[in-house]
Chains A and B, each alone.
Chain A
């Protein structure tokens, strides 16, 4: 049965990625174009001021464009989102397979949607509070390894804290007092995440004159793209999982 769920989860992720691509084309790409425009307008004078450093500067010379903007916005964007969607959709279906009937007795569609909503908060929203999404022109090339490690660390921290909180919740739960145990779990989660965010390095590489409105719009569009992806996964996978469970029951 897990096999059937796994490939449906990956498919739901790809479907979500296609819809997320449409959303991103409409709302995020205009911001990325503006950010690249900002980047070019700020890096243009540099080669004249310091010609010997031109090759080492962050932006390579404009003329040798490895991948055109049209490809980045089209095939590149849809490929990146589809790979990500298939990956997270697959993992999502595995968590569903484990949790269905173990974490409460919700129907498959309810459980899938709640699990997707929870994942969206744990993997997208909470890490973004510490390390928000950044458009092109924000971020120094030298620190990319540190920032990558810190970002993955933040996601791991959020998921780990959620697992710890869920464990404590189930240990502390008493009949009729599940509500209190849930509140305790949430407080523990917030405490662990808050402590972790305090300890993780602060990263601020937004140029001083980067347009604030552009940054805001990019981040809203970025979170919106993820919301489309996770909503689709939750709804589509729930429907398909229901069918898988029905079929295996009638067999």
Chain B
């Protein structure tokens, strides 16, 4: 897929030693990044909405405006 356009003319910088970043290098960080993302998104989108880990509605009310804006069902 040789996409070349006049607008996007920054050049491809080859990854050292390989054509791309090796999967062994990505895998552990992918686990960490995905885990963090799931936890963060859960609290923004779902906690005290569809599921509740904690009693009460404080988390729900605190992230209320963000939850609505990001399109997650709020109440």
- 0 or 1 for each of B2-45: is its CB under 8 Å from A? (1 = yes): 11010011111111101111010110111011101110110111
- Bound-state CA distance A15–B20 (Å) is 27
Determine if A160 is an interface residue (Cβ-Cβ < 8 Å). no
Once the chains bind, are A104 and B64 in contact (CB under 8 Å)? Answer: no
Known contacts A108-B13, A251-B16: A86-B26 contact under CB 8 Å: no
Stretch at the interface among A73-81, A192-200, A209-217: A73-81
Q: A71-B62, A144-B49 are in contact. Are A98 and B26 (CB under 8 A)?
A: yes
Question: Quick one: given A67-B64, A88-B37, A102-B20, are A94 and B10 in contact (CB under 8 Å)?
Answer: no
Can you list 21 A-B contacts with CB-CB less than 8 angstroms, sorted by A residue number? A67-B61, A72-B62, A72-B64, A76-B65, A79-B62, A79-B63, A80-B65, A81-B66, A87-B40, A91-B37, A93-B33, A101-B20, A104-B3, A106-B8, A110-B5, A133-B69, A133-B70, A134-B74, A144-B73, A147-B50, A246-B13
A interface vs B, CB < 8 Å? 1-3, 5-6, 9-10, 24, 28-29, 32, 58, 66-67, 71-73, 75-77, 79-81, 83-84, 86-88, 90-91, 93-94, 97-98, 100-110, 113-114, 124, 127-128, 131-136, 139, 141, 143-145, 147-149, 151, 173, 178, 221-222, 225-226, 242, 245-246, 248-249, 251
Residues of B within 8 A of A (CB): 1-3, 5, 8-16, 18-21, 23, 25-26, 28-30, 32-34, 36-38, 40-41, 43-46, 49-51, 56-58, 61-75
Other A-B pairs, 10, CB within 8 Å; known A77-B69, A90-B37, A134-B68: A24-B69, A67-B62, A79-B63, A91-B37, A100-B20, A105-B12, A110-B3, A133-B68, A144-B49, A249-B14
